[in-house]
Amino acid sequence: MTEDANLLAIGAVSSRTGVAISAIRYYEDEGLIQATRAESGHRRFERSTIRRISFIRICQQLGYSLEEIRTHLEALPNGRTPTDDDWERLAAGFQADIDARMQRLANLRDTLDGCIGCGCLSLQRCSLYNPDDAAARLGAGPRFLLGDDPADV
């Protein structure tokens, strides 16, 4: 039986993506990518794996966890190269989340620029001030920086 010339060895995938071989193995172990085995037992990857790995790297740089990335990748077909429509559906799933993240970052920037380094910590106007941890009932984390209104407590 001959090996499929369209399949790539793990070293070739590593070279094309800039991702270490150990990371490629990890992505496979995590179910983010799939490999077949050659007669020799070596991993072989579809060329579309290069796009998947590039997608994973971009998502990681944007702060997405591997679990979040896996959830999105499950929308792509296994066993065939994703089409433009497949990628468009995947992108649409990210747009609302990315918009929300950008808004939170803008709010954080706008809130902190008057506070960090000023030293005043004016309890009358400080958006970080949370007397007696009253905002804890709204959830974990810095509730006012996450968008909750102090009037809600």
Q: Give the model's pLDDT for residue 77.
A: 74
Most confident range, picked from 8-22, 80-94, 95-109: 8-22
Q: Give the model's pLDDT for residue 149.
A: 80
Average pLDDT over residues 126-133: 65
Rounded CA separation 141/148 (Å): 11
| Residue 103 backbone dihedrals phi, psi, to 5 degrees | -65, -40
pTM: predicted TM-score of the whole model, two decimal places: 0.65
Rounded CA separation 59/77 (Å): 18
Rounded CA separation 2/62 (Å): 41
| Residue 40 backbone dihedrals phi, psi, to 5 degrees | -75, -10
* Beta bridge partner(s), residue 113: none
Higher-confidence residue: 128 or 109? 109
Show the beta-strand stretches assigned E in 11-120.
36-37, 43-45
pLDDT in tens, 57-88: 988 998 899 999 888 888 777 656 678 888 88
Can you tell me which residue has the tokens 């929300």?
100
Give ∠ CA 27-15-8 in degrees, rounded to 5: 70
Rounded CA separation 137/76 (Å): 39
Give CB contacts under 8 A, 24+ apart, made by 74-77.
76/52
The CATH label, of 1.10.645.10, 1.10.1660.10, 1.10.1040.10, 1.10.630.10, for the domain at 1-94 is 1.10.1660.10
Percent of the chain having pLDDT more than 90? 29
Rounded CA separation 26/33 (Å): 9
Residue 128's pLDDT band, with cuts at 50, 70 and 90, is: low
